[in-house]
Structure 1
Amino acid sequence: MAILHLALCCLWLLLQRTAVAAGSIRVQCGETAILPCPTAAGGLHNYWAIGWYKVANESHETGLIRRHENSTHVYLGTQRKFLMDVQQSLVIPEVQLEDSAVYRCSLWARVGHFNQQADIILQVSGELAAQY
């Protein structure tokens, strides 16, 4: 029984995330938005994967892009272009008003470290000038 209890405690610790308070980025419509992942600032040597999500509410995240070791994958069903730069920032080219939202950066830790996440609020203002 003690071994089961210890195993459950270890599993609970592995699944915990350390959250970082939300930051905010403002860009004009049509610009490229770069959303930094504050939790990745110390490097990724303690993490095996990083992912970016668009947050509709606390119970619903839509996966956008994920990097696992040396490969990057855009989630199926993603309707627009998302990139991740070498600092693990989310790059959104030519933002539109509907891109205004909360975005979540999640890092999955290697054994002995904690998973982390941070929310960034993207605020898009203005309108894209008509192209003739």
Structure 2
Amino acid sequence: MFPVAELAMSLQIPCKVQMEEGVQYRKITWYKVITTSNSLIGLVMKDIPKNSTIFYKIANNSYQIGDDFSLLIPQDSTEQVCEIYRCSLWPPVGHRILKSDYRIPQGHILISVPAVFLILLSVFAIALKYKRREKYTKMPVISAYLLPISNL
């Protein structure tokens, strides 16, 4: 599992499947979808009852699965972000395997929620610092030694 600081700086891709109520799912698997060949590249699989994670060789141990079954990709990952990711949720025998694709908008920069928060916090801090500096530069400076003694 990622350290807490690294987890906060990861991209989170949701697994948007309609789970059946009361079903104890066994595994979840995440794939990269290669659109040109319509093939899948396995990234990571989690055995839900055992809470153990298995990495596919190509994934280079850089992916994790969140408690909500989302795919977590660390910001400093050397893996290339692809356009489509697929999750598959494996139920017990007698139920349907659930699948969901998540398409990353083309031409958009993929930024995680914590990264957006940090950017906004930085902008706010800079604005606050500028506001404080502006406050002090507008105040007139009066030198006491220039005033006559009767005015003190």
* Short-chain TM bin: 0.5 to 0.7
In proportion to residue count, which structure has more strand?
Answer: 1
Q: How does 1:80-91 map to 2 (within 5 A)?
A: 81-91=62-72
Unaligned runs of 5+ in 1: 1-30, 127-132
Q: Provide the residue aligned with 1:125 in structure 2.
A: 109
Residues 53-106 of structure 1: per-residue CA shift (max 9 Å, x gap): 000036310000101132111111224611111111001111689413100000
Gapped regions of structure 2 (runs ≥ 5): 1-8, 111-152
Give the drift of 1:108: 1.4
Aligned equivalents of 1:113 and 1:75: distance in 2?
25
Counterpart CA distance in 1 for 2:57 and 2:78 is 21
**Between the two proteins, what is the percent identity of the paired residues?**
29
- Residue of structure 1 aligned with 2:94, choices 85, 89, 112: 112
Higher helix share: 2
Of structures 1 and 2, the one scoring higher in RCO (CA 8 A, sep 6+) is: 1
SS of structure 2 residue aligned to 1:77: helix
Q: Report matched runs for 1:24-103 at 5 Å.
A: 32-39=10-17, 45-57=23-35, 59-68=38-47, 69=49, 70-79=51-60, 81-94=62-75, 98-103=80-85
Change (3 A) 1:109 1:42: closer
Q: Calculate the aligned-residue CA RMSD, in Å.
A: 2.8
Instruction: Assess if the C-alpha contact under 8 Å between 2:43 and 2:63 holds in 1.
Output: yes
Seen in structure 2, the aligned counterparts of structure 1 residues 32 and 122 have a Cα distance that, compared at 3 Å, is farther
* Contact 1:46/1:113, CA 8 A, preserved across alignment: no
Residue pair 1:55, 1:62 contacting (<8 A) in 2 also: yes
CA contact (8 A) 1:106 1:118 kept: yes
Secondary structure, in 3 states, of the residue corresponding to 1:38? coil
Number of equivalent positions: 96
